[in-house]
Amino acid sequence: MGSDVFQEGVVAGRLDGESYDAHFSDLHPRLDPHEALVAADRCYFCHDAPCITACPTDIDIPLFIRQIATGTPDAAAKTILTQNIMGGMCARVCPTETLCEEACVREAAEGKPVLIGQLQRYATDHLQEQGIHPFTRAAATGKKVVVVGAGPSGLSCAHRLAMLGHEVVVMDGAKKPGGLNEYGIATYKTTGGYAQEEVDWLLKIGGITMQYETVLGGDLTLEKLRADYDAVFLGLGLGGVNALGTAGEDKAGVLDAVDFIADLRQASDVANVPIGRDVVVIGGGMTAVDAAVQAKLLGALNVTLVYRRGRDRMNASVFEQDLAASKGVRIVTHAVPVTVHGNGSVREIEFEYVDDAMKGTGQTLRLAADQVFKAIGQTLEGEGLPELDGRKIKVSSAGRTSFEGVWAGGDCASGGDDLTVTAVAEGRDAAMDIHGVLMGAAG
């Protein structure tokens, strides 16, 4: 992570052991059976439920909640997983407060929605902890598909293809599967190694071969994959990180927020992850909030999140913004980085305030900083890719790219909103389209 230059003030073990345990415990502990029944009883079971429309994976939410209410949580889980095979992770990380729960009739009437996300977790956890995999493979089709990327879109696509009877090879550049779910989500949102447990459960469908530390490039080209397989799905994610474009950005202590989050996720003991005294995070999305909150939870004294626009323009939800504020993160808006100051290592970072049109006001702000985390967006990496739409792969609604036989989904594809739940939906829908093409049912 970042430079190896020694930075005074950036240390591990700022807190006692009990504090780490408390700070990185489950953000929303699972409901117990009684709590789940009480929560399910609040659902009106609407006929034309707006919550279904608001769900990117179109889960029949009233049905699964009714199944919980009638004491059949495993049936509820199958209802969820039929539409969203990664429903357990989505229950933990999906911004339900701006999707299904915001659309809930109870939210509109009372300002208190049904706990859809927590009920979804209750059902999926109940089934997965028994080792049950409720889906079986169809008869073998003789077709072989390669999925590049073992993130939410790739795994969703692979599972659906395997269920339909195809043989699937999943390639990923990392040492573990999961993509964003494994490396890019705040530790307190997915505790206890759940990301890997969910992948292990998903792979019980059979018919999926995993290949790690394998990336496109060199001898492994997209052209070769197209020749070797009947279809290709690209779930590459976004591997590059945008630069600040400011003087001094190369100083020690100026780091990528995604690397910080990944290091924390992979740490055997979070107490061993070094953190500064004064931390500044630049960005306004979920990654920025995750980095800022976790810096505070690790014991940083001052954590400031700086965003170039107003809070109403932040990609992070109001819930996430409020969570950051509740943990002691200071949020500064309408400011852009100008210069990173320091002799070798960052000591201060200077910002200029801007108006709504992003025009500089001439007013500046200097913040003490021994660590600066960049969370200003990621970029697509790769050569020989299909036609791009801006910085992402151009796709149709079913994920078809400009290359025949190649589909794409998730963060690397155009049109999405960079959410885990959306990536899962795109992988699933692409798999259905791939199946139709391979079996001669689609043009």
What was the pLDDT predicted at 250?
A: 95
Question: Number of C-alpha atoms within 13 angstroms, CB side, residue 393?
Answer: 30
Cβ(222)–Cβ(231) under 8 Å? no
Q: What is the pTM of this model?
A: 0.94
Q: Which residue type does 431 have? A: A
Which residues neighbour 266 within 8 Å (Cβ) at sequence distance 6 or greater?
Answer: 183
| Residue 25 identity (one-letter amino acid) | S
Counting residues of the chain whose pLDDT is more than 90, the rounded percentage is 90
Q: What is the pLDDT of residues 29-49, one digit of tens each?
A: 899 999 999 999 999 999 899
Sequence-ordered alpha helix ranges (H) in 298-419: 318-326
Instruction: Note the pLDDT tens digit of each residue in 404-416.
Output: 999 999 999 998 7
pLDDT of residue 382: 84
CA nearest neighbour of 150 among 141, 142, 159: 159
pLDDT at 231: 98
Domains of the chain: 17-24+241-377 (3.50.50.60), 33-128 (1.10.1060.10), 144-239+380-438 (3.50.50.60)
